[in-house]
A and B are shown apart, each in its own frame.
Chain A
Amino acid sequence: MAESGDTQLYAPRQAIFPRSVKGRFRRLKWGVLALAYGVYFLLPWLRWERESGPDQAVLFDLVGRKFYIFDLVVYPQDIFWLAGLLMIFAYLLFFVTGIAGRVFCGYFCFQTLWTDVFLFIERLIQGERPARIRLSKQPMNAEKAVKLGLTHLLWLLVAFLTGLTFVLYWGNAPQLVAEFFTGQAPFAAYATTVFLTATTYVMAGIAREQVCTYMCPYARFQSVMFDRDTLIVSYDRARGEGSAGRAKLGRDLKTREQRQAAGVGDCIDCGYCVQVCPTGIDIRNGLQIQCISCALCIDACDTIMDSLGWERGLVGYSSQRVEDGGKRARLLRPKVLGYAAVLLVAVGLLVWSVGNQAPYDLAVSQVRQPLFTRLSDGRIENAYQLKVNNKTGHALGLTFSIEGLPDAELDMGRFRHIVLRPEQRLRLSARIKARPKVLDGRTYPVTIVATPDAGSGLPPVRHATVFYVPKG
């Protein structure tokens, strides 16, 4: 028990100097990193041919209220696609986390990816773990100033490129970069770049594992999705500790036979698994909230076991069930199947919806003030507001007509036939005039039809509405 005198209510961050490691998980993670960086940094520069609109493959045009994603153009009314996408991401996270634990944290989270890159830079300039520890402990001198300065400079450079690249998704990349460096870019571009440069530098360079441990909500709620069959990175305690605990490779404890005779486990207490951990924990203490499942400790231990000629897997993927003496983790369990089903349905619906995006659309709303007008020839008139939206990349001629109301006339003034420019939205007034047999105070269904010009190859679009007849 601590004395009240040395009780610390606030703990300073313990600097972590992760050692590098080689192995299959490290290779996989470098692969994921290369892919993610390739896509993120190069995508804004990819050009794309369109009938109309920008020639950038992915462009989120906020001013024009259109998102260009390759051959897909997303309009504000497609916002539910975003809802669908977010739902899919959520279920994907539940699904994957249920099966394999914090895979997202360990392999795909940008915090992990960017920290990896910043650590790589740190190692490049300051050297391996012992060199970095020595450098941090030595008093400030020219060598330390140059090495630290260079590290932070490179971090800032990567952070700046990260921020600038994010901005490029919201404008024409080559033009925006030229404007950016000549002081002509919009204020929002500078503000966003500065903000993201700052957050990237702070999060990946300075805060690092603090983000995962103290800030990130996903890190915490993923733990809730764990069950006894979820894969976790764990230390094989029975094998590592034996009956007399772990021990270093001492005299008389060199071979496995000697160790087993002495009751000592396979763990040679080299500490490699602790040194490589980016969150600074000892995996041999069991599953901990800080563990992001990056699996680097597995690589570390495998390296040692390989060099000793012992079998791998002292630290490896396992599950609570296996640790408790069960056999391998069950994969087909209700939770996993349920998430898989929901995921499939959500993906299916989104793909269907995106695939069936109408090339143009028509929305009709009835004017309700007044509901009807009596005309000089005794007919009844209802008025409507039409909104047409040409989503195609070319001019679209439309002719309007009505169906379902006998002897009714559609009056659209001079715009019975209009030609919409590419990607043009337009509001139009329409009025329907009819001579009802009886004035019964009821509404009658009527359909307004927009028919594209012959040769466009597009089908007509119909919008159902009602015609109100006053009580006589």
Chain B
Amino acid sequence: MADQSQHKAVQTTGHAWDGDLQEFNNPLPRWWLWTFYATVVFAIVYWILYPAWPVGKTFTKGLATTTFVDADGKEVTTHWNTRAEFIRDMQSGEEALKQKAYLEKVAGASYEEILNDPDMMAFTQSLAKVLFADNCAACHGLGGTPAEVGNFPNLRDDAWLWGGSIERIEQTIRKGRLGYMPSFGKVLSDEDIEALANYVLSLSGHDVDKGLMARGDSLFHSEQAGCYYCHTNSGKGLYSQGSANLTDQVWTVADVNGAPTLAEKIERVKSVIRNGVQRRMPAWEGRLSDEEIKLLTVYVHGLGGGQ
């Protein structure tokens, strides 16, 4: 290390404590002092431009501003803040404009063109996922499967009450749907309902009592119960009525698959026959734009594999 004897002696600050305790002086470079003053100047400029000092219940707002468009379409100019910057970025930032341009392309394309184009599909999926979460997930669940079977149809499975074609899905979203099945609790005896429930479960391959099944069969196709009006002779249902297909394994009102025993399954079907069904999907036309409905149509079509 440096041989101090050849240098001038080590400088001290000149202070002395307790008689002989002294402090070495290693002078800081002068420019270092100037950089400190520069940070002070920077801070003052920052105070002038940006929100800085609390003053009572408010604060100094600074001269810098951010302009964005609020929910009513009015242009708003506020003091600079990251929240407004974020809104502005989402409205007119570089990426937002790119997204808008691509959305116009998708909006101008036919359903067939979108379904055949992997790029437009990927774009639709990611944009519609947000729309679905905002507007549809409250009932149908975030992934398209409701929390429980009963009130809202599962959009993930391949059973479509109102049809799974693009046209019918769009109609469902636009105009809404009214799912209705009359209650038979006062019309039919408990034994009749028991027989009908057994027949209905036999349609989807459940091993039920043969006698009750036969009686249910004739009731199903009789004018007294009239089930076949909507569910058709074969029990496969009608898209025009939104009547369920009773022959498949998907249950949208009675949670048959979730019942542990056959007796419980029968009970659950009986409950639906006795009480009927009243379900309503609101119309989204007017609430959502045409482009948004288009994106959601493709998205829902994709959720269940489509038809």
Contacts and interface: CB of A to CB of B under 8 A. Distances in A.
Contact of A4 (B14, B157, B159, B249): B14
Contact of A2 (B1, B12, B31, B302): B12
Interface string A48-71: 000000000000000000000000
Contacts of B115: 413-414
B257 interface: yes
B25 A9 contact: yes
Given A286-B3, A373-B157, A427-B125, A4 B29 contact: no
Contacts of B257: 374
Contacts of B15: 4
A418 B143 contact: no
Given A376-B248, A427-B126, A415 B32 contact: no
Contact of A285 (B3, B125, B142, B156): B3
B27 A369 contact: no
Interface stretch (B73-81, B116-124, B261-269): B116-124
Interface residues of A, number: 41
A413 B14 contact: no
Interface stretch (A10-18, A102-110, A131-139, A357-365): A10-18
A373 B156 contact: yes
A12 B2 CA distance: 21
Contact of B2 (A13, A288, A413, A426): A288
B224 interface: no
A357 B75 CA distance: 50
B167 interface: no
B30 A12 contact: yes
A369 B142 contact: yes
Interface string B124-148: 0110000000000000011111000
A411 B142 contact: no
A77 interface: no
Nearest to B115: A414
B11 interface: yes
B250 A376 contact: yes
A34 interface: no
Interface residues of B, number: 46
A8 B1 contact: no
B2 A370 contact: no
Nearest to A427: B122
A207 interface: yes
A356 interface: no
B21 interface: no
Contacts of B250: 374-376
Contacts of B31: 13, 207, 210
A431 interface: yes
Contacts of A383: 156
Interface in B138-178: 141-145, 154, 156-159
Q: Which of B9, B14, B306 is the most central at the interface, judged by chain A CB atoms within 10 Å of its CB?
A: B14
A369 B14 CA distance: 74
Contacts of A12: 29-30
Contact of B302 (A214, A370, A426, A429): A429
Given A285-B6, A373-B154, A429 B245 contact: no
A408 to B, nearest CB: 15
Contacts of B118: 415, 418, 426, 428
Contacts of B143: 367-370
B13 interface: yes
Q: Which of A210, A370, A429, A431 is the most central at the interface, judged by chain B CB atoms within 10 Å of its CB?
A: A370
A428 B123 CA distance: 10
Contacts of A252: none
Contact of A287 (B1, B27, B125, B157): B1
A423 to B, nearest CB: 14
B13 A4 contact: yes
Contacts of B121: 415
A2 B29 contact: no
Contact of B249 (A3, A376, A414, A426): A376
Contacts of B122: 426-428
Contacts of A426: 118-119, 122
B249 A413 contact: no
B158 A8 contact: no
B71 interface: no
Contact of A286 (B2, B11, B33): B2
B55 interface: no
B249 A370 contact: no
A247 B30 CA distance: 36
A373 to B, nearest CB: 4
B156 A9 contact: no
Contacts of B302: 413, 429
A460 interface: no
Interface in B70-90: none
Interface in A307-344: none
Contacts of B125: 427, 429
A375 B158 contact: yes
B2 A285 contact: yes
Interface string A1-38: 11111011111110000000000000000000000000
A10 B157 contact: no
B14 A376 contact: no
A337 to B, nearest CB: 28
A370 B145 contact: yes
B40 to A, nearest CB: 16
A143 interface: no
B255 to A, nearest CB: 11
B29 A1 contact: no
A306 interface: no
A411 B250 CA distance: 19
A414 B121 CA distance: 11
A49 to B, nearest CB: 28
Interface string A395-429: 00000000000000001011100100000001111
Q: Which of B118, B154, B159 is the most central at the interface, judged by chain A CB atoms within 10 Å of its CB?
A: B118
Q: Which of A5, A12, A373 is the most central at the interface, judged by chain B CB atoms within 10 Å of its CB?
A: A373
Contact of B27 (A4, A9, A414): A9
A285 to B, nearest CB: 5
Contact of B14 (A3, A288, A370, A415): A3
Contacts of A287: 1
Contacts of B22: 1
Given A3-B14, A369-B142, A426-B119, A376 B30 contact: no
26 contacts: A1-B22, A2-B12, A3-B14, A4-B13, A8-B25, A8-B27, A10-B32, A12-B30, A285-B6, A286-B1, A288-B1, A367-B143, A369-B141, A369-B143, A370-B141, A370-B143, A374-B249, A374-B250, A375-B249, A375-B250, A376-B245, A378-B249, A413-B302, A413-B305, A414-B116, A427-B125
Q: Which 3 A-B pairs have the closest CB atoms?
A: A4-B14, A376-B248, A369-B143
Given A375-B158, A376-B159, 14 more contacts: A1-B9, A2-B25, A214-B29, A288-B1, A369-B141, A369-B143, A374-B249, A375-B249, A375-B250, A376-B248, A413-B302, A413-B306, A415-B121, A429-B302
